[in-house]
Amino acid sequence: MSSLSARGIHAWFGKHHALEDISLDFAPGTVTALIGPSGCGKSTFIRTLNRMHEFIPSAAMAGEVLLDGKDVYAPGTDVTKIRLQIGMVFQKPNPFPSMTIGENVLSGLKLAQLKVDNKDDLLEECLERAGLWKEVKDRLGAHGGSLSGGQQQRLCIARALAVKPQVLLMDEPCSALDPGSTLRIEETIRHLSESMTIVIVTHNMQQAARVSDHTAFFLSDGGPGHMVEFAPTNEIFSRPKDKRTEDYVTGRFG
């Protein structure tokens, strides 16, 4: 398992300073939750980790993201290799519409031109790990769009797993889902954390408390978003050091 750490991350959109000086270490095999009100830079932060930030035309950044000690922004780094090692699940389920369920899961292999010996085994393994195998094993040839929202999101998780990432970034993966699907995805996350490092952005306090080992609280008080507190999850929720964290996790603001 790989270690991932962020060192002094800043982010800008044009002249707007969106994120200020974030340093965080993600220990291998742990789940880290990022919480905070909307617009505080959580999503921006995780998108700097796998270099998705640079897709926004006016974006700029500063700082280092170290994957196994190597800066992913170092000159000469192969970006596609970085994104293979740091997978991502998005807020809205986005299965590829022109592909079947099976093709969706294996699409990463084709996109990144990877070879595997036994595709069927990999397909079953990924769907199994994403908690979707039992529901779709008889209709792998159906279109991804024919699944329910929760199933589509687990399909996207399975798709991210197929390229064997070391780290999985999840940007509010349950915000579009009903409680039942949310629960199933949380089980999946707990299960996956045995073999990979997970970073999850969530607006759901209970979710952070249920799935994460560490929690970071981000806040923007008018200026750029910054990290107020980072601690083991039970400490954040039971005895936060900062008054603002306490107010937020107890629902007094935000």
Partner 1 sequence: MSTVQPTRPWVATTADRVRDGLIFVVSIAISYGLVAATPLKGKLAYFFTFFAILTLANGLNGFLRYGFAAAKDAAIKTLVGVGALLTVMPIASILATVISKGYKGIKPNLFTQDMSLATPTDPLNNGGILHAISGTLILVFLSLIMSVPLGILTALYLTEIKGRFSKPIKFLVQAMSGVPSIVAGLFILSAVLYPITKGYSGFMGALALTILMIPTVARTSEEVLNLIPQDLREAGTALGGTQWRTVAMIVLPAARSGLITAMILGVARIAGETAPLLLLTGGGDKVNGNPFHDPIGSLPYYIWKSFNAGSEEAITRAWAGLLVLVVLILILFTTARFLSTRKVSR
- Residue ranges binding partner 1 (CB under 8 A): 50, 52, 55, 57, 80-81, 83-84, 87-88, 90, 92, 94, 96-100, 107-108, 110-113, 141, 143, 156, 159-160, 163
Q: How far apart are CA 14 and CA 56, in angstroms?
A: 10
Smallest distance from partner 1 to CB 184, Å:
21
41 or 87, CB closer to partner 1?
Answer: 87
Smallest distance from partner 1 to CB 77, Å:
13
Smallest distance from partner 1 to CB 49, Å:
11
Smallest distance from partner 1 to CB 165, Å:
9
Smallest distance from partner 1 to CB 204, Å:
21
* Tokens encoding 35: 């919480």
Q: How far apart are CA 87 and CA 159, in angstroms?
A: 9
Tokens 């209970």 correspond to 206
139 or 241, CB closer to partner 1?
Answer: 139
Tell me the DSSP string of 28-96: TT-EEEEE--TTSSHHHHHHHHTT-GGGSTTEEEEEEEEETTEETTSTT--HHHHHHHEEEE-SS----
Q: How far apart are CA 236 and CA 219, in angstroms?
A: 14
Contact 238, 246 (CB under 8 A): no
93 or 131, CB closer to partner 1?
Answer: 93
Radius of gyration of the chain (CA): 18
107 or 207, CB closer to partner 1?
Answer: 107
68 or 221, CB closer to partner 1?
Answer: 68
Smallest distance from partner 1 to CB 80, Å:
5
Of 152, 165, 168, the closest CA to residue 201 belongs to: 168
156 or 236, CB closer to partner 1?
Answer: 156
